[in-house]
Structure 1
Amino acid sequence: MDLLDPLRRAAAMVPAHAGSEAGVTVADALDYLDHRELEIALGLVIELGETFDAGTTFWTLLAASAAEMNLPRAETWCRWRAAETRHGIIRAELQLLSPDRPGARRVAVPGAGVLRPLWNIGLVMPEGHPDLRIARIWVERTPELPAGGSGPIRLAPLGPQGWRHLKPGDRITMHEQAPPAGIATITQASFPA
């Protein structure tokens, strides 16, 4: 596979007027591509993907490029973003409970979508107990969230259709045992029509 091809195809999807907060444009990414600085170009195109309504094809092309460059975190992120374009984006501020509390985590939450805890999202089973749902966690801006810590996360539900009632400000609880392990406050919940 020629790494330049999927990167160039993804870069061609970026609107000319798109620019990151740091002032990066698609022209910058193309300049790095022309000089075969592929990892830098990939990072810039990924960054630009957050500035417009990038579709599944865009993220899939970038995931393929990252896989060919042996950049597993970038590949996983691009696959994550492709899934978000299909199913929606759920972001939250997660506060893990203190490690000395029952049910709380005693180790950090890995950042790249590995952990799949249960979540109480406010749904109730016919028998009256909470209808817990599974969602993977992506920790934003850091490789992991320390035990007892807090930070921004993204959620990828196993069954996204059951999460559409959530809105910013809603509080949901994370469970790995019967007592909660953390409490998340929804900051963004947007779903495709």
Structure 2
Amino acid sequence: MADATEYLDHDEWEVALDILVELGDAYASESAYWDLLAEAARLLWLSRTERWCHWRRAEVARGLIRVDLQLVEPGVLGARRTPIPGEGHSRPLWDIGDVTAAGHPDLYVARIWVESQPDLLPGGRGVVRLAPLSPQRWQRLSAGYVITMHEQKPVAGIATVIETVFPVIKGHDGG
């Protein structure tokens, strides 16, 4: 925190904000923290940082799911032909192991944020964060669990869960 203050003293607003974002990523932080950082990013015209702060705020409220995603090779049926945009715009379907009454896979929507790169190329591999439309259905997932991504009937990618953190729902924590 002292580093951020030092940069603020020298009017290095963007660097100070980057330090505060890194601190929020490294330690548990509350929704209000991410709201403040998102507003600061907006005022500094840092749209990607602002979107990241909104994403992180949603993770605080709904949960964190990080996976190692391997997309199928471009020549395979069902493969992507274009990169997955990195900032949460793609909303593919996911098979997390549930089945319908008819015995078919029950697929769920989750947005994707690609970590450490602007997008994920067809056939590529990378760590991504998932923001499920219905996060309560995903809470049984844990590290090592394998799920599949679908954009058509064939599998478009295979993901191994790296990390999950779900908020404790009051009245459901044993207390």
TM-score (norm 2): 0.93
Unmatched 5+ stretches in structure 2: 169-175
Which residues in structure 2 correspond to 1:159-178 (within 5 Å)? 159-178=134-153
Deviates more, 1:134-143 or 1:66-75: 66-75
Q: Aligned equivalents of 1:147 and 1:72: distance in 2?
A: 26
Where does residue 21 of structure 1 map in the other structure?
none
Matched, 1:40 2:40: no
**How many Å separate the matches in 2 of 1:170 and 1:52?**
24
Partner of 2:106: 131
Between 1 and 2, higher relative CO (CA 8 Å, sep ≥ 6) is seen in 2
The range that moved more, 144-153 or 30-39, is 30-39
> What does residue 117 of structure 1 align with?
92
- Of the three residues 59, 67, 70, the one matched with 1:92 is 67
User: By how many angstroms is 1:51 displaced?
Assistant: 2.3
In structure 2, how many angstroms separate the alpha carbons of the residues matched to 1:121 and 1:61?
Answer: 34
Which residue among 82, 106, 109 is the counterpart of 1:107?
82
In structure 2, the partner of 1:183 is 158
Give the deviation of 1:53 after TM superposition: 1.0
Q: Corresponding residue for 2:129?
A: 154
In structure 2, how many angstroms separate the alpha carbons of the residues matched to 1:67 and 1:115? 23
Distance in 2 (CA, whole Å) between partners of 1:76 and 1:109 is 17
Cα-to-partner distance string for 1:55-90 (whole Å, 9 max, x where unaligned): 110011101111121111101110111011111110
Alignment partner of 2:45 out of 46, 60, 70: 70
The match for 2:172 is none
SS of equivalent to 2:112? strand
Report the count of equivalent residues.
168
**Counterparts of 1:120 and 1:179 in 2: how far apart (Å)?**
11
SS of residue matched to 1:99: coil
Q: CA RMSD in A?
A: 0.8
Please report how far the alpha carbon of residue 189 of structure 1 lies from its aligned counterpart in structure 2 after TM superposition: 1.2
SS at match of 1:67: helix
Mark the runs of 5 or more structure 1 residues left unpaired by the alignment.
1-25
After superposing on structure 2, the runs of 4+ consecutive aligned residues of structure 1 that deviate more than 4 Å are none
Give the Å deviation of 1:29.
0.4
> Which digits, 9 at most, give the CA deviation of each residue in 1:123-168, with x for residues without a partner?
1111211110000001111111111010111100011111101111
Letter in 1 for 2:17: L
Instruction: Give the distance between the partners of 2:129 and 2:15, measured in 1 at CA.
Output: 24
Distance in 1 (CA, whole Å) between partners of 2:155 and 2:47 is 31
For residues 73 and 50 of structure 1, the distance between their equivalents in structure 2, rounded to whole angstroms, comes to: 15
- 1:132 is matched by which residue type in structure 2? L
